[in-house]
Amino acid sequence: MDKPEQFKKLQQLRSSVAGRPLMHSAADPKAVALMLGSESEPKRLTSFDYFSLLSKPEIGTQEARELIVQLEAGFESARLEEMLKKAQRDLIGAIAGPLGLGKVLAVHDKLGGNVDTIHNARQQVYATDEARQKYAEKSDYDSSKYHGDKRYIDKNAMDTVAQASGRLENAYTGEIMGDKHIDPRNLDHTIAAKEIHEDAGRILAGLDGAELANSSSNLNPTKERFNKFKGQQKAEAVVRKLQQESPERSARITELKSKSELTVKESNELELHLQKQAIADSPELLLAIDKTAREEYEGKLRDKYYNSNEFRNEVIGTSIKEAGKMGFQQVFGMLMVEFFSSAFDEIKQVYKHGQQADSMLSELSARLRRVAVTVASKWEGLVKSFSGGFISGFISNAVTILINTFVTTGKRVVRLIREGVLSLLKAVKILLFPPKDLNFQQAAHEAMKLLAVGGVVVGGVALEESVEMLIKSVPFFAPFASVMTAVFVGAVTAFCMTFVCYLIDKMDLLGVIKAERDNVILSELDNEIGIRISRSQCIIEEIEGYLITT
């Protein structure tokens, strides 16, 4: 029977009872005397007050509001208790998990990650001893190897013919070069041959320096005096220097041009100044040629090294290793949380109900067995924790390698990436594959909290170094600095995680908490109505039975 039908039945009963006479035949005098001589039972007498129970109470707006406020207070109280329990688990997890065991595992993190990259090699940061040794054993720079290369000789010969026929352009200014006796020229390695020879990225990739230096994009004719001035400098540095010296050089050019006669030295000086000034005024051609040469050079290094089986195997191997470490960290952290949480529950039981066994040893043994059973029952959670940690570890290692192709990451940054990826994956997982009891808004709300908690954990990791240095500054605490740092930062992080989650719940941007509160209040009201209906049904049965007998 649904609620509307129950209400109609109660209304009908109220009407039928209200119309019946309340007078009946007199009772037996002996029974009356016996009743009057016995002690009264207040509870029994109260149970006969059917009409007051069936009467419709008049509830005002203020009373209704007070009832709602009371139910809301109960809801908030339950959430507070749940939050405190979660804070306890987070505190244990923060110490034993990413800020405890994670700190231990972080000892194996390396500056620049676990895989050699071209960028890191140029910073003299190596992940493997083999790559470091390979660079240390490089040969000394030999100019003849580069300038005696067949490609260099052939290109120089072609330029000689073009210059003789008046068809050779200065690659850096665009002007046609004159006779070689009047306008001596050189074939310039735009990227200096010595720079290429000593490039740690080239050595890591295992490419031949002479072949790279004498590629067509890197061989460009220019005037001899400017080539000697440029030397092994990079184009950007040359342009910057020329433009800085431009005012002083312009004044010198004016001074030399004003002279009626110039010495050979002054004539050569003027010629060089004019070449420099032409490039300082219009550096676009030199910079464009340098950019083209470097793009081709870097492309060859990337293609050779990052497509090699050696690099691929290193990425896969280190990613699996990091995945295993992260999976183990998550499992160990969860084990610690479950163990200590169950142990605390057992301690509470002893405090409330006292010792149950005859001896302390038997009591401790029984309690530990219960803790072990509780922890063992969480095996499905352990499997999920390992799988989540494994995936996040694999991805974080790949992300670290990707970042290290552009920027060298510090040891702590490696750990920040690991923890950040773990939090991100948890948020994405709950958003894309929410539990059956969560709708999309609720899943999004929980994902927001996971991301915020991840940010707190990352902040805690970043804070560790400062805290540890502070603790080490006190001689008495220095030997225990590492453990104290993990405990202190872990505790602070756990409380911050709880507070952040509380703030997100209070802001309730998606209206999830309001909807949950409304559902709880409606459920409480429904339960209360159900209880009253049940009591009414019992009264109905008693009244109907009484009316039938009379």
Specify whether the backbone of 252 is left (phi greater than 0), alpha (psi in -120 to 50) or beta.
alpha
Residue with tokens 């502070």: 470
**Could you please report the per-residue DSSP string of 492-550?**
HHHHHHHHHHHHHHHH-TTSHHHHHHHHHHHHHHHHHHHHHHHHHHHHHHHHHHHHHH-
- Round the average pLDDT of the chain to a whole number and report it: 77
334: closest CA among 397, 297, 402, 382? 382
- Give pTM, 2 decimals: 0.61
What confidence tens digit (pLDDT) does each residue in 391-414 have? 767 777 777 777 777 766 666 666
Q: How far apart are CA 257 and CA 270, in angstroms?
A: 8
Q: How far apart are CA 391 and CA 411, in angstroms?
A: 21
Give the pLDDT confidence score for residue 98 in this predicted structure. 46
pLDDT surpassing 80 at residue 6: no
Q: How far apart are CA 440 and CA 432, in angstroms?
A: 9
Give the pLDDT confidence score for residue 197 in this predicted structure. 93
What confidence tens digit (pLDDT) does each residue in 44-95 have? 655 555 555 444 455 557 766 777 777 777 777 776 667 666 666 666 665 5
Lowest mean pLDDT among 3-17, 242-256, 282-296: 3-17
320: closest CA among 421, 369, 391? 391
Give the pLDDT confidence score for residue 192 in this predicted structure. 92
pLDDT tier for residue 111 given thresholds of 50, 70 and 90: confident
pLDDT surpassing 60 at residue 96: no
Phi first, then psi, for residue 518 (nearest 5°) are -60, -40
Quote the strand ranges of 175-262, DSSP E.
Answer: 185-189, 219-223
**Could you please report the per-residue DSSP string of 13-73?**
HHHHHHTS----PPPPHHHHHHHHHSPP-HHHHHHT-HHHHHS-----HHHHHHHHHHHHH
What confidence tens digit (pLDDT) does each residue in 122-158 have? 888 888 888 899 989 888 999 889 999 999 999 999 9
456: exposed, middle or buried (Cβ count in 10 Å: 0-12, 13-18, 19+): buried
- Residue 329: other Cβ atoms inside 10 A: 27
Mean pLDDT of 480-494: 72
Q: How far apart are CA 512 and CA 448, in angstroms?
A: 12
Mean pLDDT of 370-374: 70
Give the pLDDT confidence score for residue 295 in this predicted structure. 93
pLDDT tier for residue 503 given thresholds of 50, 70 and 90: confident
Phi first, then psi, for residue 38 (nearest 5°) are -95, 160
Domain ranges of the chain: 80-117+310-352+359-517, 142-307
Give the pLDDT confidence score for residue 108 in this predicted structure. 52
Q: How far apart are CA 192 and CA 332, in angstroms?
A: 54
Give the pLDDT confidence score for residue 469 in this predicted structure. 82
Give the pLDDT confidence score for residue 220 in this predicted structure. 93
Q: How far apart are CA 452 and CA 512, in angstroms?
A: 17
